[in-house]
Chain A
Amino acid sequence: MPGVSPPPTSFQDIILRLQQFWAAQGCVILQPFDMEVGAGTFHPATTLRALGPEHRWNCAYVQPSRRPTDGRYGENPNRVQHYYQFQVLMKPSPADAQDLYLASLYALGIDPARHDIRFVEDDWESPTLGAWGLGWEVWCDGMEVTQYTYFQQVGGIECDPVPVELTYGLERIAMYVLGRESLFDLPFNDPEAPGAKTYRDVFHRAEREYSAYNFEHANTQALFRHFTDAETECQALIDQRLALPAYDHCIKASHLFNLLDARGVISVVERAAYIGRVRTLARACCEMWLEAA
C-alpha cells in the first residue's frame, strides 16, 4: 500500500496537495477558466482537448463552478451557487488510472485501511455538451467524493483515444477530511495562521448577494437578449473558423441559460429547447476545433 499522507489542515491545503500530486504525474496544471461555467468539464482544456488535436493530453486544474439554482443565500450548510471542482483529464486514459486516482486520495490523508472506498455505477451525461461516458461515482464511507468517467463522446463526436475525467467535489471532500458539518466552517487557509479565514469569511457574503441576484434581480429581458447575442456570435465565429472564441460564446450561452432557469422564466418545454440550442453550439465548436486544427 502506498504511503498515506497526514490529514490536510485546510481547504486550500487540499487544493495544493491535489495540484502537487497531479503535477507529479506529469499533468499540465492549468488555472481556472476565466468565465462563468457550471462545471469543470466546460473548461476548453477538457471539452475541446478531450477530442484533439494532440494524441496525449494530461491536465489538472481547479474550476470555480456556478450553479445559480443551488444558491441558498448562504443558509444551507451543504449547498451553494458557487463552489469548487478539481478536475483531471488524462488522454488516453492510462491503464493504471484507478490506482492513480486512489493514490490521490491517499495524498489527502484518506487511508483505505480505515475507510470504505467504492466504485458505484454512475453513467455520466451532459446534454448541453452532447457528451457522455461510463464510470462510477466514488464513495468514501457512503459519501460521493468524485465523479469518475471514461468519456465516450464529446460534442457528439466519438473520443479516440478515450480520456478519463476525474471531478472531485472539493467542499464535500474537505468537510469530510476536515470534520466539519457546514462548508462555511471549513478553514480556508492554515487555521493557526494570523490571518486565518474560514470559507464563511471568504464566500458567505457572495452567497447572499449572488442568491439575491440569481433568484430575484437578474434582468431576464436582458438575459434573453444576451443569450441570443451569444448564440449569434458563436455561430458567426464558427463561420470564421475560430473554434476557441466561438466556444467562449457557447459557454456564455450555457451560463445565461442557467441564470434564466434559476429565475424560473423558462418553462419545462422551453427548457429542453434551450439545452438543445446550447448543444448545437457545443457540437459546432467541437467540430470546428478538430476541423480547423
Chain B
Amino acid sequence: MPDFLLELFSEEIPARMQARAAADLDRLMGEALAAERLAPEVTATHVTPRRLVYAASGLAARQPDLAEERKGPREDAPQQAIDGFLRSTGLTLDACELRDTPKGRTWFAVIHRPGRASEAVLGEVIARVLAGFPWPKSMCWGETKFRWVRPLHHVLAVFDGRPLPGAFAPDEGLSLAFTDKSRGHRFLAPDPFPVAGLTDLKAGLAGAHVVLDREDRRRAIAEGAARCAEAAGLRLRDDPGLIDEVAGLVEWPVVLAGRIDEAFLDVPEEVLVTAMRTHQRYFACVDGTGRLAPRFVMVANTEARDGGAAIVAGNERVLRARLSDARFFWDQDRAKCLDDHLPALAEIVFHAKLGSMADKVARLERLAARLAEAIPDADPMAAERAATLAKADLVTGMVGEFPELQGVMGRYYALAHGEDAAVADAVAAHYAPLGPSDDCPSAPVAVAVALADKLDTLAGFFAIGETPSGRGDPYALRRAALGVIRLVTENGLRLGLSDLFRSALAAYPEDVTGIYPQEHVDSLVGFFADRLKVALRDRGVRHDLVDAVFALGGEDDLVRLIDRVTALGQLVDSPDGANLLTAYRRAANIVRIESKKDKIAGYGDPDRARLAEPAERALADGLSASGDQAARHAASEDFAGAMTALAALRAPVDAFFDQVTVNADDAALRRNRLALLQHITATLDRIADFSKIQG
C-alpha cells in the first residue's frame, strides 16, 4: 500500500513549541484520516526549526466503499411519503427493495458510496488539520487570514511517490500548490530538491545540511559539547534542558568552544552561568574540582568557511560585553550595603491593594520572628534580620539585569557586608521550594523566612479575593501553598495552620483583611486541604483518606494530620481494616434506612440492660474498650496504635452480624440494636470519618 509524506515548511518555529507541535500533528492527522476511513499502518513525525514532517505508510489508495441502508415507508404508505423517501435517497423505486418487517412490507434503500481516491481526500485532510492547528500563539501575515506559528512557505505533500493535485489555499490571500520539492539548510543548501517519500526526504536533507530528527540533533549536541569540553581537559556542566532548547534552534548543529576572559571569573559563578545560559544559550564547563572554567561551549547552526573562527570571536565579544555589564553591577551593588537599598523597595509594588515591597518586608520581619519562636533552633533575631534583607537585592543592578538571580545575589551582598552566614543563606533560600522537586530549606532561619514569605503572600491575596480559580493562578498561590506544606512537613514543624494564617493576616491592615479575618482563615484552610491532597497524591496517598481525616475538623497540624492519614491507610489496606470498613458501611446503611422509616434522627446510646445475645454484649464491650484505647493512642499521637485498637473490633463486629437479627420483632430490642450499630460508626468516626473512604 502507498505511503504519504507531509512537510510543512515555515519560517523559524519557536524552540519551545516544536515537540508539542509534532505530537499535535500526529494526533490530528490520525483523527482526520480515521474520519475519512483511512488508517495508516505506521506513522512518524519530525520537527526542526523550519519544518514539521508527518509520514504515514501503508495508506489505502482509495477509501473503502460504504454501503448505507435506509428504511423507508411501508408499501401501502401514501405516494407522497414514498416520493419523499426517493428524493432523500436519490434512488428510483426499482432500485429499492421491499422487505417483510413486523409492521408489514416496507421499502428499503441501499445506497452505495464508492470510496474516493485517497489523493483527493488527503488534500482536504491537510486543509482541515492546518486550519485548526493548536499553536500556543499564532499569527497572520501578508494578506491571508490563515493563522500559523510564523509564515508558512510550502506544503510538501507526496502520496504514492507523486505530489497531491491542487493546493493548500485557505483563502484568497494564500495559495501554496502541493509540491514534492523540499529544501535544505537556509544558507548551506537552499536549492529545492524532489522527494518521493520519507526515506528520500531524510537522505536528501542529510545531504543538504539538515538533521531531520530531533533526537539525532540532541545527541549530536550532547556528544559534541562533551567532546569539546574534554578536549580542554574539562567537563560539561550538566544541563539537559539547554540541550533540548538548542536542538530546537538549529537544523545543522556545529559545536564550537570559546573563551571567557579570566578577569570575569571573580564574579559569582551563578552570574556567569546565567549570562551564558539564559541570554546566549551557551554551555558552561567545570574543571576537575567542579569550579567554573574560563571556557564555554556554543552551538552554531552552520558550518563556516573559516572553521567557525569568526563565529567564536563574535560570540566571545558578545559575552564580554554582557559580563562587563555584570561585573559593573557586581562592583556597584557591593559598594552599598543591603540596608542602603531598602528605601528603594518602597517604590516597588507588591500588589496595588497590598502595598509596596517595603510594606511586605515590614510584615515579613514580624512574621518571621514570630515563626522562629516556634521553630526549633531558630534565632528570632536572625530571622527578623534575614527578613529585613530578603528583598533588598530586587533593587540592585544585577537583579535588574538578571531577575532569575534574586535571592542568590542578596546572599552574596549580605556576606560581602559581614552578615551572619545563617542570615545570608536565608536570604538566598527564602524563595524555595519553588516546586515539588526543588530543594526545600532546612536551616531554621531560612525555614522561618521562607514560610513567612509564602504565608504573607497567601494571606494577602486571599484577603483581597485574588484566589486561584480553574486554571488561572497568576500569583502562583498553589505553588506557595505547596511550599508551606513542604516546609512544615519536611521539617517536622508542629504548627497549626489556622494559627499561621491568623498571624499572617494580622500583619495586614484592617482595610485589607476586613473586620472578620476568620473568613479568610477558613478559606485558606479549605484551599490547603485541596493542596495537601494533591501533594499527598503525588506521594501515592489516597485523597479520600485525607478527606476522612480532614472531616474530623479542627485538625490543622500538618505533621499530625499526615501521620493519621498514613496510619489510616495502613489500616484500610489490611484484611481486618477492609473487613471493618465493610461492617462500618453495613451498620451505617442499616441505621440510615431504619431511622428514615422511624422518622428519627438517631437511636441514642445502647442500653446495656437490653443487650440480649452474647454477641451483642461482646460487641458493646469491644466498642467501649477499643474506642477508649484508640482515643488514648490518638491523644498521644500514636495513630498506628489507635488503628490497631480499631482493627481488634473486626471479630466482635463480624460475630454480631452473623448471630444477631437487628430487626427483631420486639420494638425495644430492635431500637437498642440499632443504637448499638450506630455506636459502631460513632466509635470509628472518632478516629477518622470512615464514610469518606472509598473503594
A interface list, Cβ under 8 A from B: 1, 78, 92-95, 97-98, 112-121, 123, 133-136, 140-143, 150, 152, 159-162, 164, 176, 181, 267-269
Q: Tell me if B587 is interfacial: C-beta within 8 Å of chain A.
A: no
* Residue contact B305 to A116, C-beta cutoff 8 Å: no
Q: How far is the CB of A193 from chain B (nearest CB, A)?
A: 27
Q: Tell me if B20 is interfacial: C-beta within 8 Å of chain A.
A: no
Which single residue of chain B is at the shortest CB-CB distance from A97? Answer: B151
Which single residue of chain B is at the shortest CB-CB distance from A120? Answer: B249
In the complex the two chains form, what is the Cα distance from A93 to B139 in whole Å? 12
Which residue from B139, B280, B306, B313 sits with its C-beta under 8 Å from A152?
Answer: B139
Which residue from B16, B141, B304, B306 sits with its C-beta under 8 Å from A162?
Answer: B141
CB within 8 Å for A114 and B11 given contacts A142-B318, A269-B352? no
Which single residue of chain A is at the shortest CB-CB distance from B305? Answer: A113
- Name the residue in B16, B190, B349 with the highest tally of chain A Cβ atoms < 10 Å from its Cβ: B349
In the complex the two chains form, what is the Cα distance from A275 to B12 in whole Å? 32
* Residue contact A123 to B306, C-beta cutoff 8 Å: no
Q: How far is the CB of A87 from chain B (nearest CB, A)?
A: 19
* Residue contact A142 to B315, C-beta cutoff 8 Å: yes
Which residue from B12, B280, B306, B310 sits with its C-beta under 8 Å from A119?
Answer: B12
* Residue contact A115 to B14, C-beta cutoff 8 Å: no
Within 8 A of A (CB), among B297-326: 298, 300-302, 304-306, 310-311, 313-315, 317-319, 321, 325
Assign chain B's interface to a size class. 35 or more
* Residue contact B352 to A115, C-beta cutoff 8 Å: no
In the complex the two chains form, what is the Cα distance from A291 to B112 in whole Å? 57
Q: Tell me if B78 is interfacial: C-beta within 8 Å of chain A.
A: no
B325 cross-chain contacts in A, Cβ below 8 A: 78
CB within 8 Å for A115 and B314 given contacts A142-B280, A161-B143? yes
A-B contact pairs, 11 of them (CB 8 A): A78-B325, A113-B304, A115-B314, A116-B300, A118-B12, A118-B249, A119-B12, A141-B310, A141-B313, A162-B140, A268-B348
* Residue contact A150 to B280, C-beta cutoff 8 Å: no
Q: Tell me if B475 is interfacial: C-beta within 8 Å of chain A.
A: no
Q: How far is the CB of B403 from chain A (nearest CB, A)?
A: 15
B249 cross-chain contacts in A, Cβ below 8 A: 118, 120
* Residue contact B142 to A114, C-beta cutoff 8 Å: no
* Residue contact A143 to B318, C-beta cutoff 8 Å: yes
Given contacts A1-B190, A116-B314, A133-B139, 6 further A-B contacts (CB under 8 A): A116-B311, A141-B311, A141-B314, A141-B315, A142-B280, A161-B143
- The 0/1 profile, CB within 8 Å of A marked 1, for residues 281-308 of chain B is 0000000000000000010111011100
* Residue contact A94 to B302, C-beta cutoff 8 Å: no
* Residue contact A150 to B314, C-beta cutoff 8 Å: no
In the complex the two chains form, what is the Cα distance from A95 to B137 in whole Å? 20
* Residue contact A121 to B12, C-beta cutoff 8 Å: yes
* Residue contact A152 to B12, C-beta cutoff 8 Å: no
* Residue contact B305 to A114, C-beta cutoff 8 Å: yes
Which residue from A97, A117, A121, A143 sits with its C-beta under 8 Å from B317?
Answer: A143
* Residue contact A134 to B301, C-beta cutoff 8 Å: no
Q: How far is the CB of B348 from chain A (nearest CB, A)?
A: 6
In the complex the two chains form, what is the Cα distance from A93 to B348 in whole Å? 40
CB within 8 Å for A93 and B14 given contacts A113-B187, A141-B311, A142-B280? no
Q: How far is the CB of A42 from chain B (nearest CB, A)?
A: 22
B11 cross-chain contacts in A, Cβ below 8 A: 98, 119
Which residue from B49, B302, B319 sits with its C-beta under 8 Å from A112?
Answer: B302
Q: Tell me if B150 is interfacial: C-beta within 8 Å of chain A.
A: yes
* Residue contact A116 to B141, C-beta cutoff 8 Å: no
Which single residue of chain B is at the shortest CB-CB distance from A161? Answer: B143
CB within 8 Å for A134 and B318 given contacts A141-B311, A142-B280, A269-B349? no
B49 cross-chain contacts in A, Cβ below 8 A: 119
Which residue from A117, A143, A162, A176 sits with its C-beta under 8 Å from B142?
Answer: A162
- The 0/1 profile, CB within 8 Å of A marked 1, for residues 134-155 of chain B is 0001011111000000110100
* Residue contact A161 to B142, C-beta cutoff 8 Å: yes
- The 0/1 profile, CB within 8 Å of A marked 1, for residues 1-35 of chain B is 00000000001101110000000000000000000
A113 cross-chain contacts in B, Cβ below 8 A: 187, 304-305
Q: Tell me if B347 is interfacial: C-beta within 8 Å of chain A.
A: yes
Which single residue of chain A is at the shortest CB-CB distance from B303? Answer: A113
Which single residue of chain B is at the shortest CB-CB distance from A114? Answer: B310
Which single residue of chain B is at the shortest CB-CB distance from A141? Answer: B314
Q: How far is the CB of B89 from chain A (nearest CB, A)?
A: 45
Q: How far is the CB of A128 from chain B (nearest CB, A)?
A: 19
- Name the residue in A1, A97, A115, A159 with the highest tally of chain B Cβ atoms < 10 Å from its Cβ: A115
- Name the residue in A117, A119, A136 with the highest tally of chain B Cβ atoms < 10 Å from its Cβ: A119
* Residue contact A115 to B310, C-beta cutoff 8 Å: yes
Q: How far is the CB of B549 from chain A (nearest CB, A)?
A: 44
* Residue contact A121 to B16, C-beta cutoff 8 Å: yes
* Residue contact A164 to B141, C-beta cutoff 8 Å: yes
In the complex the two chains form, what is the Cα distance from A59 to B311 in whole Å? 32
In the complex the two chains form, what is the Cα distance from A162 to B140 in whole Å? 7
* Residue contact A115 to B142, C-beta cutoff 8 Å: no
Which residue from B142, B301, B352 sits with its C-beta under 8 Å from A92?
Answer: B142
In the complex the two chains form, what is the Cα distance from A164 to B173 in whole Å? 16
* Residue contact A114 to B139, C-beta cutoff 8 Å: no
